[in-house]
Amino acid sequence: GEALAVSARVAPLGSRLVLLLVEDLTEARRIEAVRRDFVANVSHELKTPVGALSLLSEAVMDASDDPEAVQRFAGRMQIEATRLTNLVQELIDLSRVQNDDPLEDAEPVRVDELVAEAIDRCRHQAGTKQITMAAGGTADLHVWGNRGQLAAALGNLVENAVNYSPVRTRVGIAARRITAPGGDLIELAVTDQGIGISDKDKERIFERFYRVDPARSRATGGTGLGLAIVKHVAASHGGEVTVWSAEGQGSTFTLRLPEAAAARAARDRDRDRA
Ligand code: ADP
C-alpha cells in the first residue's frame, strides 16, 4: 500500500519533470531553428543585391561603347548598392538592440525631440508623395531609455507609415501620458491612411524579414527588419508595441514606454533595496 502511495505521489512529479525536459528540448530546437532560418534569410537577402550588382557590372563592361546604356546600368547599380547599405545598417541596428542592455545608459529622453527626429528622417519621402505629417501632445513628455534605440524605433514606425501610404494622405503622431499602477507610461501612436494590414499578416509583421508584399517592400528600400527592431526596443525598455489596422483604410502602431520620472523613481527604489 505504502509503495503504491509513494509511486502515485512520485509518478506525476516524474512525468512533469519529463514534460519540462521535453519542453526545454523543444524550446532549444526552436531557438536553433530560428537561428538557422535567420542565417538563411540574411544570406538570401544579401545574395539578391550582390547578384544584381555583379550582372549589372558585366552589362556595363559589355556596353562600354554605348554611353547611354552605361548611364542606365550605373543608375541601377546605385539602387542596388543603396539596398545593400540599408540592409547592412538594419542588421547592425538589430544586433545592437538585441545585444546591448538599453537600460545601462538610460536617461530621460524628450518626446518632442524624438518625434521631430522621426519626422525629419522621412521628410524627403513624405514630400515627394505630398504626405502631410502632423504631431500633437508631445510637449513636456519624457520617456526613459536609450536615446538612439528609441529614435530608431519611432523612426521605423513613421517611415513605414509614409512608405505604405498613397500620395496626398496624412500621417499623424499623437503622444500622451497614461496613468498606470506599475508606473506611468507614455503612449506614442503613429497613424496612417495607407494600405492597411490583414488580420492574418498582423500576427507576423513583427518577425524578422516578414513582409506582406516583398516586391513593394523592396521597391521602397524596405528590409523586413524594421518592425522586428521596434518590437525588440519596446520589450527591452519594459514597454510594448501594438497594431490596429483596417485593410484599405490605414493603420495605427502604438508604442508604450515607461515615463521617465516614474521609471527613474522605480530604478532608485530598486537600488536602495539592493
Ligand atoms: P519593411 O522594411 O518591409 O518595411 P518592416 O519590418 O518595417 O519591414 O515591416 C514588415 C511589413 O509589415 C512590411 O513589409 C509591410 O508589409 C507591413 N507594414 C509595416 N508597416 C505598415 C504600415 N504602416 N501599413 C501597412 N503595412 C505595413
Is 80 exceeded by the pLDDT of residue 192? yes
- Asked if residue 213 has its Cβ within 6 Å of ligand 1, the reply is yes
3-class SS at 225? coil
Please, what is the Cα angle at 250 between 254 and 111, to 5 degrees?
30
In sequence order, which ranges of 173-225 are alpha helices (DSSP H)?
Answer: 199-202, 214-219
Is 80 exceeded by the pLDDT of residue 11? no
Cell numbers that stand for 164 in this block: 505604405
- Asked if residue 171 has its Cβ within 6 Å of ligand 1, the reply is no
ipTM of this model? 0.98
Q: How many CB atoms lie within 10 A of CB 27?
A: 10
Confidence of residue 264 (pLDDT cuts 50, 70, 90): confident
Instruction: Name the residue with cell 536609450.
Output: 146
The closest residue, in CA terms, to atom 7 on ligand 1 is 226
Which pTM was predicted?
0.86
- Asked if residue 227 has its Cβ within 6 Å of ligand 1, the reply is yes
Best CA proximity match to 251, nearest among 204, 200, 189:
189
Cα separation, 123 vs 151, in Å, equals 15
